[in-house]
């Protein structure tokens, strides 16, 4: 039987574990799942610029993956949740920033990706949340 290993990202992850009773990542064998990561800093503040918020969310995904022994090159699936600027679509600004970050972080490797528009996210001022799944051979880390 494979035993799940749970991880907290140093800084904000420790705060979430204490305040909201959840971990940032779990590794089960060669599969790593992370909870949704926002574009916050360690004091849980969000930038005004949407592109910067999305880039910071990608940074936080990277930090969280690293805790579980994974990296962007191990990511196979991305789910992103967006508070749209219009009622009928996620919007080009969100999509363009996401695609730019995916290309920067993953190069020619393209994951499966689902983008979902939502009315609100867990924190005031939060406009994007990114959750990923990665596959890392057991006994190795990125």
Dist. CA 127–CA 53, nearest whole Å: 8
Rounded to the nearest 5°, which phi and psi values hold at 136?
-130, 125
43-69 mean pLDDT: 96
Residue 138 pLDDT: 65
Lowest mean pLDDT among 42-46, 78-82, 111-115: 42-46
Give per-residue pLDDT as tens, 124-135. Answer: 999 999 999 999
Catalogue all structural domains in the chain, each as residue range(s) with its CATH number: 5-135 (3.30.1330.40)
71-96 mean pLDDT: 94
23-28 mean pLDDT: 93
Provide the token pair at 142: 């990125």
- pLDDT confidence tier of residue 75, bands split at 50, 70 and 90: very high
Task: Report whether pLDDT(141) > 60.
Answer: no
Q: Which of 8-12, 46-50, 121-125 has the highest mean predicted lDDT (pLDDT)?
A: 46-50
Residue 18 pLDDT: 80
Task: Report whether pLDDT(42) > 90.
Answer: no
Distances in whole angstroms, Cα of residue 1 to Cα of each of 4, 30, 137: 10, 13, 16
Residue 21 pLDDT: 80
Closest CA to 78 of 104, 100, 110: 110
The reply to whether the predicted model has a pTM over 0.85 is yes
């Amino acid at each position: 039987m494979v035993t799940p290993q749970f991880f907290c990202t140093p800084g904000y992850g420790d705060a979430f574990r204490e305040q909201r009773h959840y971990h940032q990542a779990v590794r089960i064998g060669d599969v790593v799942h992370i909870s949704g990561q926002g574009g916050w800093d360690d004091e849980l503040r969000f930038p005004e610029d949407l592109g910067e918020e999305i880039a910071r969310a990608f940074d936080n995904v990277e930090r969280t993956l690293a805790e579980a022994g994974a990296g962007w090159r191990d990511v196979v699936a991305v789910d992103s949740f967006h508070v749209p600027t219009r009622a009928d679509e996620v919007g080009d600004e969100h999509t363009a920033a996401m695609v730019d970050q995916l290309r920067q972080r993953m190069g020619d490797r393209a994951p499966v990706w689902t983008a979902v528009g939502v009315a609100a996210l867990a924190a005031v001022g939060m406009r994007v949340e990114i959750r990923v799944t990665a596959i890392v051979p057991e006994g190795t880390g990125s």
